[in-house]
Structure 1
Amino acid sequence: MMRFRHMRDRHPIRTRLTAAARSLFSTRLATSLAMALCVGVPPAGPTFSADIVSPGATVRLLQGGTDISGQARLGLEIDLRPGWKTYWRSPGDGGFPPEIDTSASSNVAEVGVGWPAPHRQAFMGLETIGYDGDVVFPLDVRLTDPGAPARIDVRGAVYVCSDICTRVEIAFAADIGPGIVGRDADAARIETFRALVPRTAEQEGITLGGAEIIQASGGPELRVVATARTPFGEPDLLVEADAPLAFGTPRLRFADDRRRVEITAPLTLPLPEGTDGTATPLRLTLLDGSRAVEAHVQATAAPPPGGVGEDWQVDGHGDVVRLMGILATALLGGLILNLMPCVLPVLSLKLLSAARHGGGTPRSVRAGFLASAAGILFSFLVLATAMVGLKLAGATIGWGIQFQQPLFLVLLVVLLTLFSANLLGLFEIPLPRLLADKFGGSGGKEGSLAGHFATGAFATLLATPCSAPFLGTAVGFALARGALEIYLVFAALGLGLALPYLLVAALPSIAARLPRPGRWMLTLRRLLAVPLVLTAVWLLSILSIQTGVIVAALITLLMVALGSVLSGIDQGSSRRSTTAAVAALSLVAAAVLAPLAVTVPQTVSDAPARTATEVNWSHFQASEIAERVRAGEVVFVDVTADWCITCKVNERMVLADPDVTRRLNRPGVTPMLADWTRPDPAISTYLQAFGRYGIPFNVVYGPAALDGIVLPELLTRDRVLQALDAALGRVS
């Protein structure tokens, strides 16, 4: 009979505790053991199978039934209370793993325990490895005689901790074997967590190089190199070994567009004299988002590594060429961005800017368009600075993610209201005399340089919810690397978006040949205000999704009031204008504070977001993709958001096509919708696994495309149908 029990002396890493930490932990453990007399439930008989309830968790035995081979599938579920945690098989600096003893079972030859992928946790100043929320440990029971009845007896204990640690004793019994059917709900829970159990590296398309002990300047370190067919996100490596080896949190260095990573973990205990740490069996668990692999290796000695480093820093000439190629891609992506739907509202400001230069001197035309180009470049560098700061802070980064923030949407609505009111002639704000002289006038026939600069900056803001061809590749390269690459790529993107302005600056006669400004421009201004007003309405609709209809309606009323107040700024006495300006600022402040003042529950629905298509979308679950593909299905993943205009164009022009809809609704095809309108860490991690940081993003999986076929940003009917065929192995 199998007896599965992790003893405490198998975890040498615990010797890292300082004397004070040992004392503190011993005190709390003593408290835990004392509490166990009250909250632990000792065995009450050989058939005790009710849920075991403790202050920190409820523990139960799930019964999933028996398969055709006679192997029963059970699960040990630990449903943790908020703020409580439990431990993996190697718990780290403190804590204890579950103790599972099945030796009292009958007609049971073997019990295999599955360990779902854990994560690192901070506990009392120590780093532990385990779970919070809910976890199920799958138990695969192989019967001695599959044709005879059997009884599984599970005894032992689990350890749960918050500010105290509690040992919860367990005792379960269940009849298994022929004619005994499990519970469907239990089977589904078991399979959900079985999908999280690390697989072999080959199954996940990952190659783990040998584990080498290197002699670094700070002491011995373990180095492992992993490669994958799809880019890594932010992987972690858990190392298990018998004494005398224990390892700390690893450092990561990427290469080959994040498809290769060097993982270096320091030894946290000194090696015994006369040993070098080699010839020691190691158990490696590599975690990367939804991917988790496990491998058994043996440590070997190696000279200090040269380091893989970042791709373009490794092998000089070739990597510089690659960087130059990415910058060229970014330049082209920025240029194409001028044609994307997101930038069309800014066309109003572009046309008005060009019209103001009609009959102007080449010098003034050149200065105005150079100022607009400077505004674009400045905004892209501000975006790059924000991305670098967020990345250093460990926050989620991506192209267009600022549209997930209600405050940003409100600020854009305010800006659009101001621009629209100005175009409609409700108000004009002349620059102070000093600035008017410096920037070329206060809004005369050629406009001020400050106004042209603002136009360029505003164009950048409205461009960010769009992802043009080539843009996703460039942004993904930049955000996966360091600050220098981010600044270079974003500068290239800005230069691409500014190229039309630079073209007119180089050939000012293009704008100078337009009719001279006159009364006709008043009509043009009013017409050009319409796209800006419609854009503000669209942004308010996105805001209603994120904060609720009440907040969006309140912002709408404040903007209407703002337009009315602005019409009084230029009229009447100076006192009236001042009062109107104060009232306008007050309305803007109220609009900015409205999303902060009204709290809206951020619930996550299992139902997919509504779209304009008739596709039977299912809710995105990254953990289900591999299981469905192994069952022979095709999975189509659409990562979208309500603020992503390109996504909506794809949806209406391609995914709503009758042929595409019919294919996606066929049996054996699962269309998954990942709605990124609001922040979602699961979707962010999924995108980063492909080296992507923006949307739209579409992938097709199938038996012939286990790693997925990534589709271009702009979809076409034929491209989607071809990918669905290719995923099934059909060559058209």
Structure 2
Amino acid sequence: MRILTTLVLLLAGLTGAQALVPKQPKDLVRARLVAETATVAPGSTVTVGIHMAMKPGWHVYWRNPGDSGLPPEMAWELPPGARVGAIDWPVPERLPVQTLMNYGYEGEVTLLLPLSVPQNIPAGQPLHVGGKLSYLVCEEICIPGSSDLALDIPVAAPGTTPLPDPAQAALFAQARAALPIPSPWPSRLTREGNGLVLHLDHAGLTAGSVAEAAFFPYGETVLDNAAAQTLTVDDTGLHLALKPSDPATAPSELPGVLAFSENGTRRAFVIGVAPAAAPAATVMAEPAPASAPVPAPEETLTLWSAAGFALLGGLVLNLMPCVFPVLSIKVLSLVKQAGQSRARVRIHGLAYTAGVLASFLALAGLLMALKSGGATLGWGFQLQSPIVVALLAYGLLAMGLSLSGVWHLGGGVAGIGDGLTRRSGYQGSFFTGVLATLVATPCTAPFMGAAVGFALTQPPAAGLTVFASLGLGLALPFLLLTVWPGALRLMPRPGAWMDTLKGVLAFPVYATVAWLVWVLAQQVGPNGLLAGLAGLVLVGFAAWAWERARFFDGWSGGLARVTALAALLAVAGLVTVLDGERATAGPSLTTGGFELFTQARLDGLRDDGRTVFVDMTAAWCITCQINERTTLSRDAVRRAFHANDVALLRGDWTNQNPEITALLERYGRSGVPLYLVYRGKAEAVVLPQILTEGIVLAEIEKRPGLAQR
């Protein structure tokens, strides 16, 4: 009981520290809602603006934020019949942040939107419009912020023409001057080697008059945003060299905004056809009914309910295929301790729990720090790196080979992964907890999604409390096993059977290695996969050579050890090339009638009134793969999709994708899986993270009228 009390007090201390977290400065962004006209008439359409003034050195983002960030969004509260259209985005600036390139606004910006006034609104009363503006404001760090905005506009008599508000005339004139206009000259996109060149066929331009050209693509992943954009001007017009993010899939068309300075005046033109802009976020044309869609988890969870969900999710993680083999190995090692004192066995349980908690808090702290710097990441982010996936596969292969008897721990390598997890001392228990955390990150258990999403929107102390609860849930079964004396008495006596079981347990570890290699194959191209497989061979050779050194004395044994270390150095060299061998999305993502997800495609389908099923997945997400094979690929589910004319979109988060990260954060999630059902413009229904055939069929086969009840 003293052990459990200590852990509870630790969590309570973290919660109490929340009071020490500094509040968000109120002057980073000053936002207000303004109208172009002093009055409105029933049935008319007027322009309103969201004016944002940033503190010097800070910026907010454009519709495509670039390498990191999120654009501002407004959740409107409007009277029945009123509608707000999409934002008309001003031309942004290129904003370098270390090695990243973002697109956004410094100083001040006004975002213009059309407001449709209800036809039946009575004259003489004010039209009340407002809502909650959410934004991400960044300098060297990023801080999410929000402002409650409201505006009352007098309603004139029907048939009258709304008059401009003189007080706002200059502001709206400046905002319209910052908008790009359709290009009056033709444009072309050509490919030159691995690069792209955007041509503006305007023969009237001269090299001496044009400077500071920049192109801002509408698509978030089509260009290497941080690459230099080289400008040339000749008799045929302007030419801007661009670098695609993936030369193998470089687009043939590239819609966006081209901006340049001509004789000191900045000009901006829309190139190509802009994708359909998303309507204003969560427009509330009518009061929400009692059974409206559930709000985002961060709005409904409290700190303690999120911690409770995290604890339950951590408990379920112990049954996941990515954690169970490691936990089984540790239980086997505990059998060896059965004859020792109860106090020593309990300390093993505490050491394992400390390893789990330390690694969960370290991962969570790193994730929060990266997100505060503007990175678009979520839970399991480390597995988006093929280097991390390969290293995890190599470490587990070494562990499996040790279980199979290929090599044994020697005193000189006490710091190597498998030895640390299988040592009889407390270090072995601690590092087993670390390994259990690392292999748990690909899995998402029930209750986890909402809890982790909540944690990443809270101040650091509160967020770390939730992650600590998740770690405690993962560690709790093993901890209770060591604390409860009756459980130790039920354990079998050590014997020869343990060697046989140890060999059997190697094969679930090998299966995990095979799965990690499959994940790596989704992340890298053929050359990268070859390097990864060669690394596995070298790890096996290093284990064999190190074991052979035990049978030689003198220089022969030393040579064998040097050979093993040389093989490991070669593995390190192979690993460094993996990140440069990224693969594109594979054809498996578009099987079963699915299309690749883009926000523009989703918006277009919703504008057409279609029902859309969105599947956010990743190759390294075991929960995603289980759901796909046990539910989404079932014939009954596919027939239901076809019979109800459901459009299917699948987003691949195996590698980083800012559009997918933005959608996850919009629904309070920090990682995959995420399953959404849209019916036209209605807000999405969020399905559970563990799917069944019945859950999907029940939602898909709902009549549209019932879906909103």
Report deviation, 1:168: 7.2
* Structure 1 residues 435-465: Cα deviation after superposition (integer angstroms, max 9, x where no partner): 9xxxxxx999992211121112111111011
Give the distance between the partners of 2:674 and 2:422, measured in 1 at CA: 44
Q: Does residue 518 in structure 1 map to residue 495 in structure 2?
A: yes
Q: Does residue 541 in structure 1 map to residue 518 in structure 2?
A: yes
Give the distance between the partners of 2:558 and 2:674, measured in 1 at CA: 49
Determine which of 616, 620, 629 is the counterpart of 2:593.
616
* Structure 1 residues 8-61: Cα deviation after superposition (integer angstroms, max 9, x where no partner): xx9x999x99xxxxxxxxxxxxxxxxxxxxxxxxxxxxxxxxxxxxxxxxxxxx
1:133 — aligned with what?
Answer: 217
Contact 1:469–1:714 (CA under 8 A) maintained in structure 2: yes
1:270 — aligned with what?
Answer: none
Q: Which amino acid is the alignment partner of residue 717 of structure 1?
A: E
Determine which of 433, 452, 461 is the counterpart of 1:456.
433
Within-5 A mapping of 1:149-548: 160-161=259-260, 190=273, 193=274, 195-196=276-277, 199-200=279-280, 203=283, 322-430=302-410, 447-548=424-525
Q: In the superposition, relative to structure 1, how do residues 713 and 96 fare at CA in structure 2: closer, same or farther (>3 Å)? A: closer
Give the distance between the partners of 1:457 and 1:444, measured in 2 at CA: 9
Give the distance between the partners of 2:337 and 2:262, measured in 1 at CA: 70
Q: Which amino acid is the alignment partner of residue 724 of structure 1?
A: I
Contact 1:357–1:512 (CA under 8 A) maintained in structure 2: no
1:559 — aligned with what?
Answer: 539
Report deviation, 1:699: 0.7
Q: Which amino acid is the alignment partner of residue 411 of structure 1?
A: L
Determine which of 719, 722, 730 is the counterpart of 2:695.
719
1:637 — aligned with what?
Answer: 614
* Structure 1 residues 292-328: Cα deviation after superposition (integer angstroms, max 9, x where no partner): xxxxxxxxxxxxxxxxxxx9xxxxxxxxx92111111
Contact 2:614–2:675 (CA under 8 A) maintained in structure 1: yes
Report deviation, 1:698: 0.5
Q: In the superposition, relative to structure 1, how do residues 652 and 86 fare at CA in structure 2: closer, same or farther (>3 Å)? A: closer
Root-mean-square deviation (Å): 4.6
Give the distance between the partners of 2:514 and 2:491, measured in 1 at CA: 32
* Structure 1 residues 601-652: Cα deviation after superposition (integer angstroms, max 9, x where no partner): 54645x75447xx621111122333432343321001111111111111111
Q: Structure 1 runs of 4+ off > 6 angstroms?
A: 83-95, 128-131, 162-170, 204-207, 228-231, 432-435, 442-446
| Count of residues in Structure 1 that have an aligned counterpart in Structure 2 | 483
Structure 1 window deviating more from structure 2 (574-583 vs 350-359): it is 574-583
What is the TM-score with the length of structure 1 in the denominator?
Answer: 0.58
Q: Which amino acid is the alignment partner of residue 722 of structure 1?
A: A
Secondary structure in structure 2 of the residue aligned to 1:665? helix
- Gaps (5+ residues) in structure 2? 1-48, 57-90, 95-100, 106-110, 113-171, 185-211, 220-256
2:641 — aligned with what?
Answer: 664
Q: Which amino acid is the alignment partner of residue 353 of structure 2?
A: A
Contact 2:308–2:469 (CA under 8 A) maintained in structure 1: yes
Report deviation, 1:474: 0.8
1:683 — aligned with what?
Answer: 660
Give the distance between the partners of 1:199 and 1:443, measured in 2 at CA: 54
Secondary structure in structure 2 of the residue aligned to 1:161? strand
Q: In the superposition, relative to structure 1, how do residues 687 and 164 fare at CA in structure 2: closer, same or farther (>3 Å)? A: farther
Report deviation, 1:202: 6.3
Secondary structure in structure 2 of the residue aligned to 1:615? helix
Report deviation, 1:258: 5.4
Q: In the superposition, relative to structure 1, how do residues 168 and 584 fare at CA in structure 2: closer, same or farther (>3 Å)? A: same
Within-5 A mapping of 1:85-100: 97-98=179-180
Q: Which has the higher contact order (CA 8 A, sep 6+)?
A: 2
Q: In the superposition, relative to structure 1, how do residues 201 and 667 fare at CA in structure 2: closer, same or farther (>3 Å)? A: closer
Report deviation, 1:724: 1.0
Q: Does residue 596 in structure 1 map to residue 576 in structure 2?
A: yes
Report deviation, 1:411: 1.8
Contact 1:360–1:446 (CA under 8 A) maintained in structure 2: no
Contact 2:298–2:668 (CA under 8 A) maintained in structure 1: yes
Report deviation, 1:533: 1.4
Q: Which amino acid is the alignment partner of residue 133 of structure 1?
A: P
Secondary structure in structure 1 of the residue aligned to 2:623? helix
2:684 — aligned with what?
Answer: 708
Secondary structure in structure 2 of the residue aligned to 1:726? coil
Give the distance between the partners of 1:129 and 1:715, measured in 2 at CA: 49
Report deviation, 1:394: 1.8
Q: Which amino acid is the alignment partner of residue 566 of structure 1?
A: W
1:30 — aligned with what?
Answer: none
Report deviation, 1:534: 1.6
Secondary structure in structure 2 of the residue aligned to 1:339? coil
Q: In the superposition, relative to structure 1, how do residues 626 and 546 fare at CA in structure 2: closer, same or farther (>3 Å)? A: closer
Contact 1:333–1:471 (CA under 8 A) maintained in structure 2: yes
Secondary structure in structure 1 of the residue aligned to 2:357? helix
Query: Max radius of gyration: which structure?
Result: 1
* Structure 1 residues 488-545: Cα deviation after superposition (integer angstroms, max 9, x where no partner): 0111001101111121122134234433323322222111111111211211221122
Q: In the superposition, relative to structure 1, how do residues 575 and 492 fare at CA in structure 2: closer, same or farther (>3 Å)? A: farther
What is the TM-score with the length of structure 2 in the denominator?
Answer: 0.59
Q: Which amino acid is the alignment partner of residue 393 of structure 2?
A: V
- Gaps (5+ residues) in structure 1? 1-9, 18-77, 103-127, 136-157, 173-185, 208-227, 232-255, 260-310, 312-320, 436-441
Report deviation, 1:433: 13
Q: In the superposition, relative to structure 1, how do residues 697 and 167 fare at CA in structure 2: closer, same or farther (>3 Å)? A: closer
Q: In the superposition, relative to structure 1, how do residues 729 and 555 fare at CA in structure 2: closer, same or farther (>3 Å)? A: farther
Q: Which amino acid is the alignment partner of residue 708 of structure 1?
A: A
2:242 — aligned with what?
Answer: none
Q: In the superposition, relative to structure 1, how do residues 13 and 169 fare at CA in structure 2: closer, same or farther (>3 Å)? A: closer
